[in-house]
Structure 1
Amino acid sequence: MTTLFRKSVRALPFAAPSSLAASPAVPHRLIAALRPMTSSTTYYPPLVRLSKDLSAQTYAVILSSPPVNALTPTLLRQLQAHLLHLHADQQSYLNHGLILTSTFPNIMSAGLDWDCLIHNEETESFQDFEIRFRNYLNLFQDCCKLLLTISMPTIAVVRGACPAGGTVLSLCCDERIGVSSPSFLMGLNEVAIGMNLPSWIHHLAYQTLGQNSKTRRFLQQGYLVRSAEEALELGYIDKLVYSNEDIAENVGSELRHYLSQPWTARTLTKKTQNQHVVDSMGPAAIDDLWMTVGSAEFQEKVKLFKQKIRNRAKDA
């Protein structure tokens, strides 16, 4: 991606001073996103970077959390802060596009953080776990909402594995470009681990993949797409490239199509397209998820699933 984003990296101050005050350029939501990470002595690593290439009229939000870009609360807060920063001064970003991608060539994002889905009996009550889970899902939901409502045209560049929550983030972008590789993986496989999908993710999937029997079957069976070629055929991605060298050219070409349109007309059209997804978000959607995540069946299943992953990693 260095050929596309060759200018300096712009990073938000994740150890923001406590004296930071709200202003028209720095909204309260941005301050709220920064303050949980504030410390007089600790600076958090940049798990999400904001890169810019002004000559290409492009910004890139780059997930950079080793080893697999798991959507931890810290990563999501940093993603939220970057997106709020872009939302706060949208006038400055007129006629610019936004790319969502990963530093790593074989992984976009492994999805939601397992630890946020599991009740740790040794450190918290079940009530405290529910509060922690709801706060986490609200944070994830807000990041998706920010992607859906930002006026800039957005393109997800999917390199490698991008299941579950990673797929959701990608579907929140206006377009997806997939890079063919043996590690490619996409799909909404939450049902396979015992987790239901809230209505807004159903709407998002139907909007992208089509509201048909095949999509409904995929969602109920937790189907995973294991090649970029199949992802293109099914609609998970909109364009397929075969090398990293092709990414910059294709991203630039697709963004020019968006940016050549009248800005206001295009952004209002985007808002209309995504409004029903945004309207489905909220506490009720998290209530739906809690019905499965809070069950003993799910807790037992997900702990076994996590242990299986750990054992596989040890054997590798």
Structure 2
Amino acid sequence: MTNTIEQHFQFENPEQEIGLVGPQDAHLKLLEEGLGVQITGMGAQLTIIGSEDAVAQTIAVVEELYLLIKKGIRIGPADIVSAMNMVQRGTLMYFADMYTETIIRDAKGRAIRVKNYNQREYVNAIRHADVTFGVGPAGTGKTYLAVAMAVASLKRGDVERLIITRPAVEAGESLGFLPGDLKEEVDPYLRPIYDALFAILGKEHTERLIDREVIEIAPLAYMRGRTLDNAFIILDEAQNTTTAQMKMFLTRLGFGSKMVVNGDVSQIDLPPRVKSGLVQAQTILQDVPQIQMIHFDASDVVRHPIVAAIVGAYDHYNEKE
């Protein structure tokens, strides 16, 4: 039978405790659900009750979050989830390092930073490799971070334009079933990319850059026959490329350019017996210089913890099937 213990964590003042517990104790609820403990806050003190291991993990997480609060960094739900994931994976020692660098500030002035160890590896790979593959489930921040890195590169003048593309394949639908002209037809497929750009640059600024062709957002078919120099190029939803499409895209890389290829091999919407270009590329290109592959899993999901649980449950089901 597991022994239940009680430990206390003392803040310097009640304002620090308020910064950690969150609105209506929302952060405490995340910690309780994620680490299997009971937490109560009173004044400038937290009381933590649970198994010895669970309490030790909670104290470790709270200590790391407390250090951020003392530095004036505002804590949000994603920070709580990241810290919990990292303590459970044994990588909490890297947690504070993630807050030493800001990739860029979004349209509201908020700092965009990595949220876990694999995101840090992903961002470092993008910095140093010519081509980076980010493979893993939805919610791991692949698209958002790639767009943030691209915009930061554009603002620094490292590249002259930003090109973002994805195959127009989605859950068994085809463009022919959608009303309107080509732009209207492909825009729904590119909506996650627009959302990321709007969040980082703002809607009006994004639209001005698109009008000036500094940012190009287009279906994958538009890449054929081109050589893309001095550009930051992102291929999203790459699991829905065929082998020929993947080869076509990768060979567009020109001088002074970077490529990021993102996808989730558990969500392939290609017709039966059509091989995914992303699945094959992981094998074909694994030993090619200046190509790095970063793999994410359910524990890297930085949305609500239930999302990671859902992803994990489906992965477990698929393994049994």
The structure that has the greater radius of gyration is: 2
After TM superposition, the score normalised by the length of structure 1 is: 0.33
Q: Which has the higher contact order (CA 8 A, sep 6+)?
A: 2
After TM superposition, the score normalised by the length of structure 2 is: 0.33
